[in-house]
Amino acid sequence: MDFTALPHKYQDDPYLSPKTFTESVIFSLSLNSGSTAAKYFINSNSKFFTKDFSEPHIPCLMPENVSLRLEEVSEEALKERIHVRKVKAAVDLYDQLLQAGTAVSMETTHDLLDLICLYCDKDPVQEGQPVSEDLSKERGKEAQKSRWHTLLSKQSLNSSWKKNKNAERIFNLLPERDTRCYSALIRGMVMHGAPAKAFSFYTDMLNHRLKPDIHIFNALISAAPHVNTNSQDRSEAIIKLLKEMNQQNVQPNLQTFNNVLRSLKYCPPYNRSLSLTTMAEMKALGIAPSLASYNHILSIFTKQVSGKPGITDVLEEIMSELAGKSFTCQDPDDVSFFLNAMKLCWAEKDLELAYKVQSLVEVGENWRLLGHHYMQNVYYGCFFRLQCMMEHIDVVLKWFRQHYPSLYYPTHGEILYLLRALEMDGRLDLLPSVWKDICSLQYEFKETIIEELLSLMTQEKHSLEVQKSFGECALDVKKMIDQNVHGVDFKWSNSALSNLILLLVRADMTQQAWNMLQLFKSKNRVPREDLIEEFLMVCRSSGSPDGAVKLVQLSSAFGLSATPRLAKFTLAKFKLTDEQRSELSELESAESPEKETL
Amino acid sequence: MAVSLGSAGSMRLLRSIIRSGSLCSSSGSRSLHVTAVCCKSSAGRFRRGKGDTPVTYEQAHAPHYIGHRKGWLSQNTSNLKGVKDAADRTVEDMFIRRFIAGTFHSCLADELVIKRRGNMIILCAIMLQKLLPIKMYFLIGYTETLLSHLYKCPVKLEIQTIENKVIYKWF
Q: What is the pLDDT of residues A509-550, one digit of tens each?
A: 878 888 888 777 777 777 787 888 888 787 777 777 777 777
Residue A146 has what pLDDT? 44
Count of CB atoms within 10 A of residue B64's CB?
Answer: 12
Q: Which one of A13, A18, A42 has the shortest CB-CB distance to B149?
A: A42
Q: Are A544 and A552 in contact (CB under 8 A)?
A: no
Q: At what angle do helices A231-247 and A271-285 cross, to 10 degrees?
A: 20
Output the CA–CA distances (angstroms, integers) from residue A236 to A111, A194, A303, A344, in the order listed: 34, 20, 21, 30
Range scoring the smallest mean pLDDT among A101-110, A150-159, A306-315, B36-45: A150-159
Q: Residue A242 has what DSSP assignment? A: H
Residue B11 has what pLDDT? 61
- Extract long-range pairs of A558-561: CB within 8 Å, 24+ residues apart: A558/A520, A558/A526, A558/A527, A560/A526, A560/A527, A560/A529, A560/A532, A561/A529, A561/A591
Distance of residue A440 Cα from the nearest chain B Cα, in angstroms? 15
Output the CA–CA distances (angstroms, integers) from residue A570 to A511, A536, A546, in the order listed: 20, 8, 10
Residue B124 has what pLDDT? 96
Give the SS3 label for residue A337: helix
**Which is nearest to B6 in space by CA: B25, B29, B24, B38?**
B29
Q: How far apart are CA A111 and CA B37, in angstroms?
A: 75
Kindly tell me if the per-residue pLDDT of A466 is higher than 60. Answer: yes
Q: Residue A334 has what DSSP assignment? A: G
ipTM of the complex: 0.80
In sign, the C-alpha dihedral spanning B76, B82, B87, B88 is: negative
Mean pLDDT of chain A: 81
Count of CB atoms within 10 A of residue A83's CB?
Answer: 12
* B159/A16 Cβ within 8 A: yes
* Chain A environment of B102 (Cβ under 8 Å): none
**Which is nearest to A300 in space by CA: A273, A336, A333, A328?**
A273
Q: Are A238 and A271 in contact (CB under 8 A)?
A: no
* Chain B environment of A5 (Cβ under 8 Å): none
Best B123, B126, B138 member to test A by mutation, with max A CBs in 10 Å, is: B138
pLDDT band at B72 (very low <50, low <70, confident <90, very high): very high
* B146/A16 Cβ within 8 A: no
**Percent of chain A with pLDDT strictly greater than 70:** 91
Q: Across the A/B interface, how many CB contacts are shorter than 8 Å?
A: 79
Distance of residue B92 Cα from the nearest chain A Cα, in angstroms? 13
- Give the residue on A whose Cα is nearest the Cα of B146: A38
Interface residues on B facing A, Cβ-Cβ cutoff 8 A? 129, 133-146, 148-150, 152-153, 157-161
* Chain A environment of B138 (Cβ under 8 Å): 30-31, 33-34, 37
* Chain A environment of B140 (Cβ under 8 Å): 11, 31, 34
Residue A126 has what pLDDT? 57
Kindly tell me if the per-residue pLDDT of A305 is higher than 80. Answer: no
Kindly tell me if the per-residue pLDDT of A591 is higher than 90. Answer: no
* B135/A15 Cβ within 8 A: no
* A34/B138 Cβ within 8 A: yes
**Percent of chain A with pLDDT strictly greater than 90:** 7
Overall average pLDDT of the A471-498 stretch: 81
Q: Which one of A31, A41, A49 has the shortest CB-CB distance to B137?
A: A31
Range scoring the smallest mean pLDDT among A72-76, A468-472, B154-158: A72-76
Kindly tell me if the per-residue pLDDT of B6 is higher than 90. Answer: no
In the chain, the amino acid numbered A186 is I
Residue A306 has what pLDDT? 58
List, in sequence order, the alpha helices (H) in A214-304. 214-227, 231-247, 254-264, 271-285, 291-302
The tens digit of pLDDT for each residue in A258-293 reads: 888 888 888 877 778 888 888 888 888 888 888 888
Distance of residue A187 Cα from the nearest chain B Cα, in angstroms? 37
Residue A66 has what pLDDT? 65
Q: Which one of A27, A42, A58 has the shortest CB-CB distance to B134?
A: A27
* B152/A53 Cβ within 8 A: yes
Residue A241 has what pLDDT? 86
Higher pLDDT among residues A486 and A275, named by residue: A275
Residue B87 has what pLDDT? 94
Q: How far apart are CA A134 and CA A131, in angstroms?
A: 9
* B158/A12 Cβ within 8 A: yes
Q: How far apart are CA A282 and CA A276, in angstroms?
A: 10
* A23/B138 Cβ within 8 A: no
Residue A151 has what pLDDT? 40
Residue A583 has what pLDDT? 77
Distance of residue A449 Cα from the nearest chain B Cα, in angstroms? 27
Q: Are A295 and A334 in contact (CB under 8 A)?
A: yes
* B141/A34 Cβ within 8 A: yes
pTM of the full predicted structure? 0.80
Kindly tell me if the per-residue pLDDT of A208 is higher than 50. Answer: yes
* Chain A environment of B153 (Cβ under 8 Å): 54, 61
pLDDT band at B63 (very low <50, low <70, confident <90, very high): very high
* Chain B environment of A45 (Cβ under 8 Å): none
Overall average pLDDT of the A182-192 stretch: 84
Kindly tell me if the per-residue pLDDT of A233 is higher than 80. Answer: yes
In sign, the C-alpha dihedral spanning A88, A93, A96, A101 is: negative
Q: How far does CA A528 lie from the centroid of its chain?
A: 40
| The B74-75 sheet, strands edge to edge | B74-75, B113-117, B120-128, B155-162
SS3 breakdown of chain A: % helix, strand, coil, rounded to 5?
Answer: 70, 0, 30
DSSP string spanning A7-47? -TTS-SSTTTS--SHHHHHHHHHHHHHHHHHHHHHHHHTGG
* B159/A62 Cβ within 8 A: no
- Give the residue on A whose Cα is nearest the Cα of B135: A30
Q: Which one of B140, B150, B159 has the shortest CB-CB distance to A31?
A: B140
Kindly tell me if the per-residue pLDDT of A595 is higher than 70. Answer: no
Kindly tell me if the per-residue pLDDT of B20 is higher than 70. Answer: no
DSSP string spanning A412-447? HHHHHHHHHHHHHTT-GGGHHHHHHHHHHTT-TT-H
Overall average pLDDT of the A107-136 stretch: 68
* A38/B159 Cβ within 8 A: no
Count of CB atoms within 10 A of residue A185's CB?
Answer: 29
Residue A514 has what pLDDT? 80
Q: How far apart are CA A536 and CA A10, in angstroms?
A: 53
Residue A597 has what pLDDT? 44
pLDDT band at A145 (very low <50, low <70, confident <90, very high): very low
* B153/A30 Cβ within 8 A: no
* Chain A environment of B128 (Cβ under 8 Å): none
pLDDT band at B2 (very low <50, low <70, confident <90, very high): very low
**Which is nearest to A122 in space by CA: A162, A66, A151?**
A162
Kindly tell me if the per-residue pLDDT of A143 is higher than 60. Answer: no
Overall average pLDDT of the B114-120 stretch: 94
pLDDT band at B88 (very low <50, low <70, confident <90, very high): very high
Torsion of CA A224, A225, A228, A234, to 10 degrees: 80
* B142/A30 Cβ within 8 A: no
pLDDT band at A16 (very low <50, low <70, confident <90, very high): very high
